[in-house]
Structure 1
Amino acid sequence: MLHFEKKGIRILGIAESYRGREQSLVCGIVMRRDRIIDGCTFSHATVGGMDATDAVLAIWNRLARDDIQAIMLGGTVISWFNVINIMQLHQQTGLPVISVTYEDSPGLEDDISHHFPGDEERLAAYLSLGKRKTCQLSTGETVYLRAEGISLADAVHACNIFTAQGKIPEPVRVARIIARGLLPEDPDRAD
């Protein structure tokens, strides 16, 4: 449960980046309510795989912190249709999970069926997420949320606390910037 009255709320923001690689870089940022970064670590997810949930759990385990009060994801489908199971994340961490996306869409069922014909496991994983809820932030921007272990109203409140401007909450925005910045432009170049 998030304690909104506390100044020390910490959110684990998760985002990823890939550029034609077999593995994406998944970044986890711990951010305090005052938007100070209080931790950072990484894992990898297979592009087109089914290990995104494990990648997020690896970040959680690597951080080994008991002061994080929620996980905020930059989407539940990353690394080219690699589905994050938010119910499993909530159950294994005991934390509320909020997934934030920014574009309206009819869903990914047709795309999954097209790119992964016959992959019933992937399609079922996606469908188990349920529909996204359209929400307006205090910035006036519209976002699309999925939440597990937290009410939709509290998920919106958490997004409002951590969104300085626009529609991308800072923990997710910073995690995405770092993940993108650490990948070399040339996928064949090793750093």
Structure 2
Amino acid sequence: MRLHVEKRAIRALGIAESFRKNSTNAVLAGVVMRSDLVIDGVAYSTTTVRGDDATDAVIGLYRALDRNDINVIMLGGVVISMYNIIDLDRLYSTLSLPIIGVTFEESEGLEEHIMRAFQGEKAEMKLEAYRRLGSREKVILKTGHHVYIRCAGTNIRVAKRALNKFLLQGAVPEPIRVARLLARAMLKYAR
């Protein structure tokens, strides 16, 4: 599916997570938002902290919404829940929707952290999944703030336009910002 950001109205599914380091699971929240910034749907899922189920959790969250009008998925990070890595290419090929993974901080990379957190075959598997993500691209948004993005099913130029379409202030697009708030609230509620 091609992302037509020039259309007046598009819908994004923003996904973000929240977890406690000593927990076994993280809360994943998804927010469907129209480009006029009206919230149009919400769904939840969970991922395993330090696990390998993030891609399946995103797919499950999308399918739980049972929507055919979502134009793009915006992820608040692609390495979530303590190195639970989202496979962007698998996500795109499964859902046939453009995927934009957004991070907000500069980083030297996570390879050393992964090697310290895992041993043996598990470490090698995590490193391979991380390397498949490829490098991030720095993008300057209409607010003057910058983010780092990885894409599947679209290119950097179109992804930047999509992010700007959902940006009110700062660097965090509204679908991701609201999803993050909902994930944190659900985690706090679940205590």
Tell me what 2:149 maps to.
145
With structure 2 as the length reference, what TM-score do the two structures score? 0.95
CA distance in 1, matches of 2:4, 2:158: 10
CA distance in 2, matches of 1:135, 1:69: 21
Q: Partner amino acid for 1:144? A: Y
Q: Once the two structures are superposed, what CA deviation does each residue of 1:125-147 show, in whole Å capped at 9, x if it has no partner?
A: 01100000011001000110000
Tell me what 1:59 maps to.
61
Tell me what 1:8 maps to.
9
Cα shift at 1:6: 2.2
Cα shift at 1:8: 2.3
2:117 to 94, 115, 127: 115
Tell me what 2:24 maps to.
22
2:136 to 129, 132, 136: 132
CA distance in 1, matches of 2:70, 2:83: 27
Deviates more, 1:2-11 or 1:161-170: 2-11
3-state SS in 2 of match to 1:113: helix
Q: Once the two structures are superposed, what CA deviation does each residue of 1:3-42 show, in whole Å capped at 9, x if it has no partner?
A: 2232320000000001231100000100000010000000
Equivalent residue runs for 1:1-191 within 5 Å: 1-19=2-20, 20-118=22-120, 119-184=123-188, 189=191
Q: Once the two structures are superposed, what CA deviation does each residue of 1:80-114 show, in whole Å capped at 9, x if it has no partner?
A: 11000010010000000001101001100000011
With structure 1 as the length reference, what TM-score do the two structures score? 0.95
CA distance in 2, matches of 1:149, 1:6: 18
Q: Partner amino acid for 1:10? A: R
Cα shift at 1:149: 0.5
CA distance in 2, matches of 1:137, 1:145: 11
Percent identity reads 48
3-state SS in 1 of match to 2:74: strand
Q: Partner amino acid for 2:113? A: D
Instruction: List alignment gaps of at least 5 residues for structure 1.
Output: none
CA distance in 2, matches of 1:30, 1:95: 14
CA distance in 2, matches of 1:76, 1:2: 20
3-state SS in 2 of match to 1:73: strand
CA distance in 2, matches of 1:134, 1:4: 20
